[in-house]
Structure 1
Amino acid sequence: MKTHLKDYWLFIIFSILMAIGFSLDLSIAHGVFDNFYSFFLTMVKFVPAVFILIGLFDVWVDKKIIEKHLGEDSGFLAYFWAMVLASTTVGGLYVAFPVASALYKKGASPRIIFSYIGTAAVCRIPMTLFEASYVGVSFTAIRWLVSIPLVIISSIIMEKMIAEKDLANISDAA
């Protein structure tokens, strides 16, 4: 029983603090709960669909295809495919991390997975359209021209820094 409590210590502390906040009728507790509830509903809407799609991806897409186009021996075109996949990702990093894990298990190279996650964080099409409408197309284009090379460079550096066994542990934990 004690080991299970250690796994949920953050949620337990959150629950205790929320109970105290509600009992004292603190407005911040109500705001925190509203945000938590909103994020929880978002997760409930996205996560089941994500796991269904990842399951279909796992069954339908052959490992050899991923290894060929996104694996260790793939060329610079692999970054393009990672960016195309990431830019069409809806749901942000809620979706990107499980997809990245599935790509890793199918044989994608770590640098391509890191590029996918980085691109999913900064270059999604819905986010880009929203940004362009508020700050302008020129700013958005400059941000893409700066962000994409930095994502690629940082993904190459991260691949060299992280040992293969650590990557396997990360994927197993997911």
Structure 2
Amino acid sequence: MKLLKRYRFFLITVLIIVVMTIINKSLGMKALGVVEYSLKEMILVIPPVFVLLGLLDIWVPREIMMKYMGEGSGLKGIILAIILGSAAAGPLYGAFPVAGVFMKKGVKFSNVLIFIGAWSTTKIPMFLFEMSALGTPFALTRLLVDIPGIILIAYTLCMLISKDEMNDIYRKAELME
């Protein structure tokens, strides 16, 4: 029963796709094609992310992460979070395991949020594409709006989340394996 409860959303989704395929075969096959594409993408992205996470976890001591991105890191922690997030490759779901390792290493919560925000909006390849496709003024304007916006959102969230909630998030990150 516990297994059914754990995978209920997956099972409901499978049931919906089966019913959809019975009702409208072309729509069901299209949905299965999307699922297949997404699975292939995840299989190509997730293993390298976890290899890099393992290396980060082993090679970078907690003290160094705390020094450069922890509570007392100030501006250098913000800048490092933006650089790491901007230089990252892969879809946004790859950022969350990295953020979990950052939390285990004692990275300040606002810097974790800035890292996730930078991963999602300030990637270097995306910036270069925007420069070539939409023009340099657009790309620079978007970047100059996004960076302060990410920082503002991160600090606003930190003010809105209680210390107990934040400690609970860090506790859950510690339990992550």
- TM-score calculated relative to the size of structure 1: 0.92
Which residue of structure 2 aligns with residue 6 of structure 1? 5
Instruction: Give the drift of 1:169.
Output: 4.6
- 2:55 is the counterpart of 1:53: no
User: Aligned partners of 2:63, 2:105: CA distance in 1, in Å?
Assistant: 8
Give the Cα separation in 2 of the matches to 1:156 and 1:25: 48
Where does the alignment leave 5 or more consecutive residues of structure 2 unmatched? none
State the 1:173 CA deviation.
Answer: 6.7
Match of 1:91 in 2: 90
1:98, CA displacement in angstroms? Answer: 0.8
Partner of 1:114: 113
- Any unmatched runs of 5+ in structure 1? none
Distance 1:149 1:170, change over 3 A: farther
Whole-Å separation in 2 of the counterparts to 1:155 and 1:103: 15
3-state DSSP of counterpart to 1:90: coil
| 4+ long deviations beyond 6 Å | none
* Correspondence list, 1:7-156, <5 A: 7-156=6-155
Calculate the TM-score normalised by the size of structure 2.
0.91
Residue identity matched to 1:103: F
Contact 1:86 1:116 in 2 (8 A): yes
Counterpart-to-counterpart distance in 2, 1:173 and 1:131? 39
How much does 1:114 deviate?
0.3
Q: In structure 1, what is the Cα distance between the partners aligned to 2:169 and 2:22?
A: 45
Q: CA deviation at 1:159?
A: 1.5
- 1:172: how far off? 4.8
8 Å CA contact retained: 1:115, 1:152:
yes
> Using the alignment, how far apart are the partners of 1:27 and 1:140 within structure 2?
40
Q: Deviations over 1:17-59 (max 9, x none)?
A: 2112223343222221111111111111111111111011111
Identity %: 32
Partners of 1:92 and 1:172 in 2: CA distance: 23
Describe the SS at the equivalent of 1:76: helix
Aligned CA-pair RMSD? 1.5
Query: 1:89·1:95 contact (CA, 8 Å) conserved in 2?
Result: no
Q: Which amino acid aligns with 2:3?
A: H
